[in-house]
């Protein structure tokens, strides 16, 4: 097990200035997994000053793009060698089923490789020496996708020459700790990369810190609004990577067999706690019953149990409070007229904070269940009348990170897709899953600026 008694600040482990610690236990069997110090305001300040001094020394921000890339290539090799252990730690820490954890890690590696390949192409290019570091980046990672969000912020910010503070969530503070030692072993100068475990109060403190040049946040939208308000007071930059369910739209002629095949076990990716679950579905009213029947059959076949078992699709939620919150949202939806066709929090004896696959039909787009993420294995079916109504509903849903459209007529599917306000839209996908490589491409150069030098003639 892992016991971290010190923060990683200024290139080494340092005794925390605060007294609080977080203990990590498995959501499945309550086994003790480790502990880590919870950052106090003084710890945050120490990390900020270490990052600022590293910038002033210019050992990293002043290095060439090629030199920075060489160190990050070494780090990436070290990181890749640890992925199996990181996956197993993630499974114990979050209770995400091991198959889903491996799938997410494969996407982390794909996205990271794409980012480094883009950086290799830039070596020696005309823009390489014109790009200047944007300063200190504080990156707040998501509890439901710690490694994907950490790597998606780490690579672009360090490649840009920034100093960085990585804020890990108290629910999952262990696996991200490895990044500090790996970067130090790769040759990253002291102070460039720092790690703290930050609760909501600490995150808001970083958002309000005037010496942090960029605040990057990955995770649920609930905290984002408060971060944005705190950040606005500083006049400094904020980058949001909000997690939310993906939206699937079945057009009237959609091949239902192809839709069910595409969704498959990914309908409840990571026990419904994945960063972009394809579990929000819009269907024509006259086909809702058909879709619900097929989804019910699928939901009842998904194995529930030990997340370490490769056969398990649904494991426990991150905590008992998370399970109770999801159950409350279901009760509220049922009271408002939704039909709970399959309910996974029944009286079946299960270990841990488990909610089995749950399917809700006749869902109104105004229900709290739609606008407040359940972060549980809950699929919702929202009926619609015509395509204009479907598009209007989809565009009013919160988050809209990605979407899929199914139709036997490609031109109609494309016409609908072009009217959706979603970051990524898949047409008749064979599998619907978070596209972390596409997300990484969106974050290619957020933490640098192009310096244009001009001189006037006298």
Rounded to the nearest 5°, which phi and psi values hold at 282? -110, 130
Q: What is the structure's pLDDT at 437?
A: 45
Reported pTM: 0.88
Rg of the chain on CA atoms, in Å = 23
Quickly tell me which residue has 């040759």 as its tokens. Answer: 187
98-113 burial code (b ≥16 CB/10 A, e <16): bbbbbbbbebbbebbe
Q: What is the structure's pLDDT at 431?
A: 66
Structure tokens, 453: 């030098």
Structural contact between residues 169 and 243, judged by C-beta atoms closer than 8 angstroms: no
Q: How far apart are CA 139 and CA 240, in angstroms?
A: 10
Structure tokens, 295: 């989804």
Rounded to the nearest 5°, which phi and psi values hold at 17? -85, -20
Q: What is the structure's pLDDT at 244?
A: 72
Quickly tell me which residue has 């300063």 as its tokens. Answer: 135
Written as tens digits, the pLDDT of the chain (458 aa) is: 688 999 999 999 999 999 999 999 999 888 999 999 999 999 999 999 999 999 999 999 999 999 999 999 999 999 999 999 999 998 999 888 999 899 889 988 988 998 899 888 877 655 544 567 889 999 999 888 888 889 989 999 999 999 999 999 999 999 999 999 999 999 999 999 999 999 999 999 999 999 999 999 987 777 888 999 999 999 998 988 777 778 899 999 999 999 999 888 778 888 888 767 778 999 999 999 999 999 999 998 888 889 999 999 898 999 889 999 999 999 999 999 999 999 886 645 567 788 899 999 999 999 999 888 888 999 999 999 999 999 999 999 877 668 889 999 989 999 999 999 887 888 888 766 544 444 444 545 566 655 444 455 54
Structural contact between residues 424 and 278, judged by C-beta atoms closer than 8 angstroms: no
Q: What is the structure's pLDDT at 440?
A: 46
What is the DSSP code string of 335-391? HTT-EEEE-SSSS---SSSB---EEEES--TTSHHHHS---SSEEEEEEESSHHHHH
Domains of the chain: 15-243 (3.40.605.10), 247-437 (3.40.309.10)
Structure tokens, 253: 């002629």
Q: What is the structure's pLDDT at 128?
A: 47
CA dihedral 208, 212, 213, 219 (to 10 degrees): -70
- How many Cα atoms sit within 13 Å of 277 on the Cβ side? 25
Q: What is the structure's pLDDT at 127?
A: 53
Q: How far apart are CA 217 and CA 129, in angstroms?
A: 28
3-state DSSP assignment of residue 219: strand
Q: What is the structure's pLDDT at 275?
A: 67
Contacts 24+ apart (CB under 8 A), 331-338: 332/367, 332/368, 332/369, 333/360, 333/363, 333/367, 333/368, 333/369, 336/364, 336/367, 337/362, 337/364, 338/362, 338/363, 338/364, 338/367, 338/369, 338/380
SS3 content of the chain, % helix, strand, coil (to 5): 40, 20, 40
Structure tokens, 117: 């390949």
Q: What is the DSSP letter of 141?
A: P
């Amino acid at each position: 097990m892992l016991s971290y008694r010190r923060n990683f600040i200024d290139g080494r482990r340092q005794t925390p200035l605060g007294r609080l610690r977080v203990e990590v236990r498995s959501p499945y069997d309550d086994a003790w997994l480790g502990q880590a110090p919870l950052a106090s305001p003084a710890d945050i300040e120490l990390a900020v000053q270490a990052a600022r001094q590293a910038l002033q020394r210019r050992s990293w921000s002043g290095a060439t793009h090629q030199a920075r890339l060489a160190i990050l290539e070494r780090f990436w090799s070290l990181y890749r060698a640890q992925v199996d252990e990181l996956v197993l730690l993630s499974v114990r820490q979050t209770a995400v089923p091991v198959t889903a954890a491996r799938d997410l890690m494969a996407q982390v590696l794909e996205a990271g490789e794409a980012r480094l390949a883009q950086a290799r192409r830039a070596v020696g290019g005309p823009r390489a020496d014109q790009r200047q570091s944007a300063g200190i980046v504080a990156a707040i990672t998501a509890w439901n996708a710690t490694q994907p969000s950490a790597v998606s912020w780490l690579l672009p910010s360090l490649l840009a020459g920034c100093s960085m503070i990585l804020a890990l969530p108290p629910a999952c503070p262990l696996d991200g700790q490895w990044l500090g030692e790996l970067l130090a072993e790769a040759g990253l100068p002291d102070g460039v990369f720092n790690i703290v475990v930050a609760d909501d109060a600490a995150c808001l403190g970083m958002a309000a810190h005037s010496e942090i040049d960029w605040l990057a946040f990955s995770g649920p939208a609930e905290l984002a609004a408060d971060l944005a308000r705190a950040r606005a007071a500083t006049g400094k930059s904020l980058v949001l990577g909000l997690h939310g369910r993906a939206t699937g739209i079945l057009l009237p002629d959609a091949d239902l067999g192809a839709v069910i095949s595409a969704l498959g076990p990914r309908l409840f990716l990571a026990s419904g706690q994945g960063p972009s679950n394809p579990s929000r579905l819009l269907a024509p009213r006259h086909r809702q019953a058909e879709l619900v029947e097929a989804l019910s059959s699928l939901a009842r076949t998904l194995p529930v149990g030990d997340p370490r078992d490769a056969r398990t699709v649904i494991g426990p939620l991150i905590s008992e409070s998370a399970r109770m919150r999801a159950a409350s949202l279901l009760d509220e939806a049922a009271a408002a007229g939704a039909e709970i066709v399959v309910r996974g929090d029944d009286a079946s004896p299960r270990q841990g904070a488990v909610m089995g696959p749950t399917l809700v039909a006749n869902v109104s787009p105004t229900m709290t269940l739609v606008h407040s993420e359940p972060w549980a294995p809950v699929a919702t079916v929202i009926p619609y009348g015509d395509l204009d109504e479907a598009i209007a509903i989809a565009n009013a849903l919160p988050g809209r990170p990605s979407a899929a459209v199914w139709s036997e007529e490609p031109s109609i599917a494309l016409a609908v897709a072009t009217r959706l306000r979603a970051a990524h839209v898949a047409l008749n996908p064979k599998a619907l899953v978070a596209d972390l490589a596409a997300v990484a491409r969106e974050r290619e150069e957020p933490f640098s600026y192009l310096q244009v030098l001009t001189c006037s003639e006298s």
